[in-house]
Structure 1
Amino acid sequence: MAQSMDDGMNTRTDARERPGQGIGNAVVALFDTVATWNERRRQRRALEALPDHLLQDIGLSRADAVTEADKPFWQG
Structure 2
Amino acid sequence: MFSIATPYLKCPADPLSGVRARVGAALAWWRESYAIYRQRRALLALDDAMLKDLGINRVDALQEGNKPFWRP
Q: TM-score range by the shorter chain?
A: 0.7 to 0.9
1:63 paired with 2:56, answer no
Measured after TM superposition, the shift of residue 70 of structure 1 is 1.1
The 5 A counterparts of 1:26-41 are: 26-41=22-37
Q: State the one-letter code of the partner of 1:36.
A: E
Identical amino acids, percent of aligned pairs: 39
- Written as runs of structure 1 = structure 2, the 5 A alignment for 1:1-76 is 17=12, 18-76=14-72
1:16-43 deviations in Å (ceiling 9; x for gaps)? 8231101001001001101111110000
Number of aligned residue pairs: give it: 62
Cα displacement string for residues 26-71 of structure 1 (whole angstroms, at most 9, x for unaligned residues): 0010011011111100000001100001100110100011000111
Which gives a bigger RCO, structure 1 or 2 (Cα 8 Å, sep 6+)? 2
Q: Taking structure 2 as the reference length, what is the TM-score of the superposition?
A: 0.80
Counterpart in the other structure of 2:4:
none
Segments of 5+ residues of structure 1 without an aligned counterpart are 1-7, 9-15
Distance 1:27 1:37 in 2: 15
Cross-structure match for 1:3: none
Runs of 5+ in structure 2 lacking a partner? 1-6
